[in-house]
A and B are shown apart, each in its own frame.
Chain A
Amino acid sequence: MKNLNDTERRFAEILSDVSFDIDTNELWASVEDKLPAERKKLRFPLWIFGGLTGVMLIVGLFWNPLGDNIGSKSEASVSISSPAESSVFDGSAALEETIEKVAAERETVLDVRHSSSNLTSEESIVDVDQQIVPKTTIDSEDTRKSAPSDTTYEFQADQEIFKEIVFSQLPPPSGSKSSTTASKEIKKSSLLSVFHPLTQTESEMLKIEERHMDIGVQKFFTLPIVVSTSSSKWSPYYSLTLGSIMNRPSYTPGSIDAQTLESFSDKERSLPGIVANIQAGIENSKGWNLFAGLRQSQLVNQYRNFGPTSNSVLLPGTESLSVNEQGVSTPVSGTITSTTVKLYAQNLFRKQNVLDIYLGGGKRFSLNENWAVATQASVSYNILSTATGYYFTEEFPVVAQLSDNADSEYKQRIGMGGRFGLSLERKLSASTAISLSPFMSSYINSLDIENNFSIKNSQFGLSVGITYRPCREQN
């Protein structure tokens, strides 16, 4: 201190040395009451979560809950008998009559498998057997069970829907099938990482040597190499996510025949699937991160197949009535044609199990001490893909069943993909955080705008995840 006289120096000296005797116990008691209660650390079951994710990764590759990929089915039928000479199944009039009859029944729907009876009507029948064939003979050894031959299933049906279904199944005019088909491409979903580490301040970064602790688990989770720059340091993090994923709704290719298309509830329908993800990355104090990971997705698509089928058989019966001059009618035995019209509806599924590896980067922004938002983008490559069930063919506008050994477009064309996601992260403890992440992804092949099926392989979804940052625990 400059320019201070002796008095001021003495004054400052006294004030600096002043001390008081105080009751520290009383003081601490008064302070302790005001201190915030220690928050119970939310111990998120990290290992349970990780175990579940790992199990899902493995099970998703092999598990097929829908054994034959056929869902609920219903049938309605009515028998129409006519003399054998007029055994041709007349469309409109007979169908109208059928509608009236069945609608009047109004009995409980039976959930049964599609009958494997021999069908003769060609173009309106869908072959759901192993191979794609234009003919409509259904193999009796189909995986579906056979209905009893003499059983007529009656069910409750809405009359309007019934009409719509029936009339939509009228045989198309010959030659109406279009030969041009759009190629289907299986769009690989590239899941972006949903792990969004919190921004670290530089003061929290430890030196390299301080991170290598001699404790087993921490040593395992500590990267041996940490990039240290003059402005920021990188630290590792690990993430697990589970979520739901869906294909974006597809549209109906214009080249598909309209009547046939209506057989499939006019479009492919996406159902929620499951996605599991494990990721490791590094991040710096400014929120930038780089990561790599493995992702397992199960995508489910549904096709609703419905329409009328008819089955005519010749049976002995009263062929006609003979009326004599006295007006007495006498039945004349002969052969009659019994036509059974069945309306069926069934859900056919396709499940795609896709295993991808990916690399990406992102940026995280801290909102406050506990919350952060982040964006991420990644590029992926499919290393394994399996598909079971049914799919919409490219050559013929029908739904066909995938063969295990056959290459299908839903197994092929899965290569590079990309994903973009946003996430909201909440800090649970010093080293763990939970996140909620919506994302959109697409296989690069799906970006072909000339491909009418291109959008099938774009996905969107929502994941929840947990992130572990070992270095923060050491701080």
Chain B
Amino acid sequence: MDSYSPFIYSICYRYMGNGERAKDAVQECLMQVINKIDKYEDIGRFKSWVGAVTVKKCLDQLRKEKRHNHGDLEYVPEPSENEQVTRKLEYEEVLQFINQIPDKYRVAINMFLVEGYSHKEIAEHLDITESSSRSLVSRGRKMIVDTFRSMKVAETKRMQQQEMKSGLNPKFRII
């Protein structure tokens, strides 16, 4: 319990989006792990098995809440490697981003970027088409880039304002 509860909670938080829903999901996931422990076939690490069970349970929870219902989405091109934010992402910013985005994109991002599922696997788990999976992931990735790029812009502006207040603006340097 002590070893795996934080791990399970982190997965639940990533998928459910906020602490309260994550707590509810953790209870369900722990019960699922306990009830299905006899199904563990000693193939691979136990932690990986717990992670897989937790992800599936989170998806079930979301399905029950009907939070990731979606039809076919219009295809959005995947962000290129050049579309990136030069600033370094911070831990809190990432979590804040996860909390804010819609459930369907959050699930797609986690499954693709973090768990490493293929589009085919994502489609099977979410009961959608593979093209929808590609669209979800592409949109999610685009949202990451756009969000943190805007964060970059906002941070730049804030720094400029601070410099102005402190007189460090090079345009207005008093000689």
A-B contact count (CB 8 A): 88
Tell me, yes or no, whether B84 is within 8 Å of chain A by CB.
Answer: yes
Closest Cβ neighbor of B81 among chain A residues: A5
In B48-100, which residues have CB < 8 Å from any A CB? 78-85, 88-89, 91, 94-95, 98
Given A6-B84, A8-B144, A19:B78 Cβ within 8 A: no
* Proximity bits, A1-43, B CB within 8 Å = 1, else 0: 1011111101110111011111010011011001100000000
Given A5-B83, A6-B84, A14-B89, A19:B10 Cβ within 8 A: yes
Please name all residues of chain B whose beta carbon is closer than 8 Å to the beta carbon of A14 when the two chains form the complex.
89, 91, 94
Given A15-B113, A30-B27, A35-B34, A22:B6 Cβ within 8 A: yes
Please name all residues of chain A whose beta carbon is closer than 8 Å to the beta carbon of B94 when the two chains form the complex.
11, 14-15, 18
Given A11-B89, A16-B114, A31-B27, A203:B41 Cβ within 8 A: yes
Choose among B35, B89, B141 the residue that contacts A10 (Cβ–Cβ < 8 A): B89
Cα A50 to Cα B71 with chains together (Å): 63
CB-based contact B6/A15 at 8 Å: no
CB-based contact A27/B114 at 8 Å: no
Cα A11 to Cα B41 with chains together (Å): 32
Choose among A1, A7, A15, A203 the residue that contacts B84 (Cβ–Cβ < 8 A): A7
Please name all residues of chain B whose beta carbon is closer than 8 Å to the beta carbon of A15 when the two chains form the complex.
14, 94, 98, 110, 113-114
Tell me, yes or no, whether B2 is within 8 Å of chain A by CB.
Answer: yes
Closest Cβ neighbor of B14 among chain A residues: A15
Closest Cβ neighbor of B33 among chain A residues: A31
Cα A8 to Cα B108 with chains together (Å): 13
CB-based contact B91/A8 at 8 Å: no
Cα A146 to Cα B161 with chains together (Å): 131
Q: How far is the CB of A217 from chain B (nearest CB, A)?
A: 23
Given A11-B144, A24-B2, A18:B80 Cβ within 8 A: no
Closest Cβ neighbor of A18 among chain B residues: B10
Q: How far is the CB of A256 from chain B (nearest CB, A)?
A: 65
Choose among B13, B30, B109 the residue that contacts A20 (Cβ–Cβ < 8 A): B13
Cα A16 to Cα B85 with chains together (Å): 19
Cα A18 to Cα B26 with chains together (Å): 15
Cα A31 to Cα B5 with chains together (Å): 11
CB-based contact B1/A24 at 8 Å: yes
Tell me, yes or no, whether B105 is within 8 Å of chain A by CB.
Answer: no
Tell me, yes or no, whether B145 is within 8 Å of chain A by CB.
Answer: yes
Closest Cβ neighbor of A25 among chain B residues: B1
CB-based contact B31/A34 at 8 Å: yes
Q: How far is the CB of A1 from chain B (nearest CB, A)?
A: 7
Closest Cβ neighbor of B149 among chain A residues: A7
Choose among B10, B30, B78, B98 the residue that contacts A31 (Cβ–Cβ < 8 A): B30
Please name all residues of chain A whose beta carbon is closer than 8 Å to the beta carbon of B116 when the two chains form the complex.
1
CB-based contact A27/B14 at 8 Å: no
CB-based contact A24/B5 at 8 Å: yes
Q: How far is the CB of A198 from chain B (nearest CB, A)?
A: 15
CB-based contact B144/A7 at 8 Å: yes
Choose among B1, B79, B91, B98 the residue that contacts A28 (Cβ–Cβ < 8 A): B1
Please name all residues of chain A whose beta carbon is closer than 8 Å to the beta carbon of B114 when the two chains form the complex.
12, 15-16
Please indicate which of the listed interface residues A6, A11, A19, A21 has the most CB atoms of chain B within 10 Å of its own CB. Answer: A11
CB-based contact B80/A5 at 8 Å: yes
Closest Cβ neighbor of A6 among chain B residues: B84
A–B Cβ pairs within 8 angstroms, 29 of them: A1-B112, A4-B81, A6-B81, A7-B89, A7-B144, A7-B148, A8-B84, A8-B113, A8-B141, A10-B89, A11-B89, A11-B144, A12-B113, A14-B91, A14-B94, A15-B14, A15-B94, A15-B98, A15-B110, A15-B114, A18-B14, A20-B10, A21-B6, A22-B9, A24-B5, A27-B26, A31-B27, A34-B31, A35-B35
Residues of A within 8 A of B (CB): 1, 3-8, 10-12, 14-16, 18-22, 24, 27-28, 30-31, 34-35, 203
Additional 7 contacts, C-beta under 8 A, given A5-B145, A34-B27: A6-B84, A12-B113, A15-B94, A16-B114, A24-B1, A31-B34, A35-B31
